[in-house]
Structure 1
Amino acid sequence: MNTMSPTPLESIPFVDAVAGRSKKDMAEVEATLTKHGVVAAPSPPPARQLRIKRIAFAGVKVLHGVTSDFEFGWDVDQDGLFGIVTRDNLVGKTTVIQVALWALRGSTKNLSDTVASWLRSVDVTFLADKRSVRVAFAIDDATPNGTVSIGEGVDQKVHRFVDEPQFKRVMQEIMLEALALEPIPASRKLADGRMVAWDDGWTAYTRAFLADADSDAIIGEHIGNDLTQRLLQVFVGLPWARTLFQARARLNVLAVC
């Protein structure tokens, strides 16, 4: 019995495919894609792990006029699945997660203002791929001031920050590079009605880390919005996702010009 080998799928270059579908000249297609920054990205980046190794924080709690010092430390540098469980509510489970997110993001997510006002220091260490990253900072008048240390020993590099905007910029630069991620192309409408191209950075990625208690979303912070769809395609690892985001963002800008 003769069996036929399956015919391999034929692939043509991205620019050729666009030219064929649009019935445009190849040179015109190349010039248009280059002008608007749309590049061929058929393969998603390889998946890289992110694991928290240690969480520690300390501060001064003020309740009903009574002041008391507190500190928390948890070493989780081992394999396995961990849970934070207490008998009572409102004893700090959410705080542990939100403090870790603060260190990862460079800005708070849903940390309550009351708890944030109590905190005096945060020290979180995690692995980004195989790279050790330690984020340590003090909080003075609601402003973080500290360092982000990458690696260990003689090869360690230290980045300093003195406020939250600088903290966010440091974490964006470090985390996108460590996890082989790129800013997510998007578009944004300004107050004057103009539409501009925009890149959502590291903070946008971190919105997929946690389904908060006050959200029904499984990924992202809101149900059905554009960022949720883009995050899902990135984390699932769909091919051509970045090219699609770039083209769609530029098209949105051109549509209102």
Structure 2
Amino acid sequence: MPNDSGQDGPEALLAAIAKKCGRSPEQVSSVLTRNGVGLRRSLAVPKRLCLRSLAFSGEKKGEKTIGTIAFDWPDLRPGIWGVTSGRNLRGKSTVLAIVRWCLTGKRSGIPTEMGEWFDAVHLAFTLDGQPYEVEIADAVASKGTLWRVVDDGRCAQATFTSEDSFKSAMSDLFMTQLGLLPLITHTVRSSGESVDQPHDWAFYAGAMWIEPNPENLFGTVSMSAMPTRMMQMFLGIPWASTNADLVAAKGRLSNHISQRRIMTQRLSMRDRLNVSLPVAMISQIGDLATRRKVTRSAVVEAAVASLLSPDSAEKSEAALTRRLDRLTRQMQRQERDLIIALETHALFIRFWLGQMPPLPAEARAAANALGQERFARFLDTLGRRLSQGRSFRDDIPLDIPAMRERPADRTDDTPSRS
């Protein structure tokens, strides 16, 4: 591999770019750094990947498909192998999806309804003759071990307990062994937001697959940095990762220019209007704009738009109606509470006058002392009841006939009696 400090290293590339655009290398380096472009000269390490065996077991679960799964494909060697069956829907694509799952750690291509069919999976493969084994002991939870086979046995390269840790283990192995660098792709969401997405081995590995009934010659999507992935995977272009950074930076800048153009068009459709407002109102507008973190123009625009809206009158009328309904319900509750208080007081007085005989003069002092003691207990009980949030009104049924069927045309102010 040529030395990076030589004529084909990053410094030479930076000088060539500066010469072509008529700028200094320092200016070019500043622009590239600001836009996330790294001058990384790296060549992928070519290695041969060869499958050696595949086995998996489990139990079919479903209304129409039940039975034991016991698949074993031993003694695979270099060459072209095929999976055939007498008819469709026998699992050929599933076998290939399990191979992809074991090599990437990403469960894709396996139908959702088969997610709990498999108990254990084992895949053996070699990288330039170095044997490795992927052993998934719990296929549902993606728990297992990546083994490196040596002369006297196996040593654990990595263990995983979830799909994320499985993907991380396989990515660390292949990215290191093949000398690959993470790829950055740029996407624009429906909201217009620019997003940079880093990708590792699972993204690169898409360049190896030819899908059943393929819509694309390679991989699962038509582009998505597929040229860069194939350059790194199969050609070993030295500046492939830098090219990916440049493509992502170009996407970010294009989206930024597009958003600025849209904003300019919106601003060009506006006209200036000078109005005079009271000083107090201007102060209120400024305070509201500060709280909402918007401009004063935005506050005034929203207010005018609400006034000019065709349904603004209906909205105001609906809001006023709701307020009147709320006030009406409050007045009805107050009227009910007043009726209850008056009736209770009247009944108590009538009961007292009808049941309590006059006391003789010699017994009034003792009765007065007993009354004060009982009144003190009454106040204590009343305080505890109110502190608990309970009310005498809550104990009265709402469907008292005398209150439910009150005449609507009463003209006197005397409360009705039950």
TM-score, normalised with respect to structure 2: 0.53
Structure 2 residues not aligned, in runs of 5+ = 1-6, 257-418
Structure 1 residues 111 and 24: alpha-carbon distance in aligned structure 2, compared to 1, 3 A threshold: same
Residue 210, structure 1, aligned to residue 203, structure 2? no
Deviation for aligned residue 1:122: 0.6
Q: C-alpha separation between the residues in 2 aligned to 1:188 and 1:208?
A: 19
The answer as to whether partners of 1:221 and 1:228 remain within 8 angstroms in 2 is no
Give the structure 1 partner of residue 142 of structure 2: 144
The answer as to whether partners of 1:98 and 1:110 remain within 8 angstroms in 2 is yes
Q: C-alpha separation between the residues in 2 aligned to 1:40 and 1:65?
A: 55
Give the structure 2 partner of residue 102 of structure 1: 101
**Aligned to 1:231, which of 220, 229, 247?**
229
Q: C-alpha separation between the residues in 2 aligned to 1:247 and 1:75?
A: 45
Give CA deviations for 1:211-250 in whole Å, capped at 9, x if unaligned.
2224321112123x23333333334424532221112212
| Residues 1-257 of structure 1: pairs in structure 2 closer than 5 A | 13-35=12-34, 36-41=36-41, 44-64=43-63, 67-139=66-138, 142-152=140-150, 153=152, 156-189=155-188, 193-223=192-222, 225-237=223-235, 238-257=237-256
Q: C-alpha separation between the residues in 2 aligned to 1:63 and 1:256?
A: 48
SS at the partner of 2:102? Answer: helix
Q: C-alpha separation between the residues in 2 aligned to 1:181 and 1:29?
A: 26
SS at the partner of 1:156? Answer: strand
The answer as to whether partners of 2:143 and 2:160 remain within 8 angstroms in 1 is yes
Aligned length: 245
Deviation for aligned residue 1:175: 1.3
Q: C-alpha separation between the residues in 2 aligned to 1:254 and 1:184?
A: 18
The answer as to whether partners of 1:189 and 1:196 remain within 8 angstroms in 2 is yes
AA at the equivalent of 1:38 = G
The answer as to whether partners of 1:128 and 1:175 remain within 8 angstroms in 2 is no
The answer as to whether partners of 1:136 and 1:148 remain within 8 angstroms in 2 is yes
Deviation for aligned residue 1:256: 4.0
Structure with a larger share of its residues in helix: 2
* Larger Rg computed on CA atoms: 2
Q: C-alpha separation between the residues in 2 aligned to 1:40 and 1:173?
A: 19
SS at the partner of 2:225? Answer: helix
Q: Please tell me the root mean square deviation across aligned C-alpha atoms, in Å.
A: 2.6
Structure 1 residues 191 and 166: alpha-carbon distance in aligned structure 2, compared to 1, 3 A threshold: farther
SS at the partner of 1:245? Answer: helix
Structure 1 residues 61 and 235: alpha-carbon distance in aligned structure 2, compared to 1, 3 A threshold: same
State the identity %: 21
The answer as to whether partners of 1:136 and 1:147 remain within 8 angstroms in 2 is yes
Deviation for aligned residue 1:40: 4.4
The answer as to whether partners of 1:149 and 1:156 remain within 8 angstroms in 2 is yes
Structure 1 residues not aligned, in runs of 5+ = 1-9
AA at the equivalent of 2:138 = I
TM-score, normalised with respect to structure 1: 0.83
Structure 1 residues 67 and 11: alpha-carbon distance in aligned structure 2, compared to 1, 3 A threshold: closer
Q: C-alpha separation between the residues in 1 aligned to 2:88 and 2:243?
A: 44
Q: C-alpha separation between the residues in 2 aligned to 1:203 and 1:245?
A: 16
Q: C-alpha separation between the residues in 2 aligned to 1:69 and 1:236?
A: 40
AA at the equivalent of 2:13 = F
SS at the partner of 1:230? Answer: helix
Structure with a larger share of its residues in strand: 1
Q: C-alpha separation between the residues in 2 aligned to 1:29 and 1:116?
A: 51
The answer as to whether partners of 1:197 and 1:250 remain within 8 angstroms in 2 is no
The answer as to whether partners of 1:59 and 1:71 remain within 8 angstroms in 2 is yes
Structure 1 residues 19 and 65: alpha-carbon distance in aligned structure 2, compared to 1, 3 A threshold: closer
